[in-house]
Amino acid sequence: MCFATRPLAAFLGATILFAAITGSSLAQKRTALQTIEFPPGYETVAVIAELQPGQCTTRHGHPGIESAYVLEGEAVAKFDNKPDQILRTGHPLQFGVEEVHNVCNISSAPFRALAHYIVQKGKPLVTPAR
């Protein structure tokens, strides 16, 4: 099996597309670490996701799963169909396929998480909620 890393230019293009589809109200910063084409038909994308104090993402989902580990800070994940979840340093989290959510930094420090997305190849990393 070959795990090819995509060039940075391809990721930057995806990042620009992500920003365009989610709008300027998105305050989250994602720093790309790597992207591999695996498993077949999917891409696994690793990022550092960051929110400054008081900032929130827009409501969105992913065309695959997100699994993350909180590196720093505290935030709340808000869902359409289940209770809010507090995200704290040292805790893991997961979001299901197209599970609509947003995340808000509720602390006075930056919020940072190491996130992995396993998404359908050719789909954007994020889909805005309707």
Report residue 16's pLDDT band, with 50, 70 and 90 as the boundaries.
very low
Q: Give Cα 106 to chain centroid, integer Å.
A: 17
Would you call 22 helix, strand, or coil by DSSP? Answer: helix
117 pLDDT more than 50: yes
Residues of the chain above pLDDT 70, percent = 79
The whole-model pTM stands at: 0.78
Domain annotation covers residue 111: yes
pLDDT tier, 99 (very low <50, low <70, confident <90, very high otherwise): very high
Q: Is 2 a domain residue? A: no
How many residues does the structure list for the chain?
A: 130
- Give pLDDT tens digits for 58-83: 999 999 999 999 999 999 999 988 99
Task: Give domain status of residue 59, yes or no.
Answer: yes
User: For residue 2, what are its two tokens?
Assistant: 């070959």
Give me the domain span that covers residue 16: 8-128
3 inside domain: no
The overall longest dimension of the chain from CA atoms, in Å, is 44
Q: Does residue 7 have a pLDDT over 90? A: no
Q: Give the pLDDT score at 28.
A: 86
Element (H, E) at 9: helix 8-22
**CB 80 within 8 Å of CB 130:** no
- 90 lies in a domain? yes
Query: What pLDDT score does 27 carry?
Result: 65
- The residues, ordered by sequence, that sit 6+ positions from 83 with a Cβ below 8 Å of its Cβ are none
Count how many domains the chain has.
1
The answer to whether position 41 is within a domain reads: yes
Q: Is residue 68 part of a domain?
A: yes
Burial class (CB in 10 A: 0-12, 13-18, 19+), 122: exposed
By CB atoms closer than 10 A (0-12, 13-18, 19+), residue 104 is middle
Report d(CA 5, CA 35) in Å as an integer.
Answer: 6
* 81 occurs within a structural domain: yes
CATH of residue 100's domain is: 2.60.120.10
Residue 18 pLDDT > 80: no
Least confident of 12-16, 63-67, 83-87: 12-16
Which residues make beta-bridge pairs with 77? 85, 103
What is the tens place of the pLDDT at every residue in 20-66? 333 334 568 999 999 999 999 999 999 999 999 999 999 999 999 99
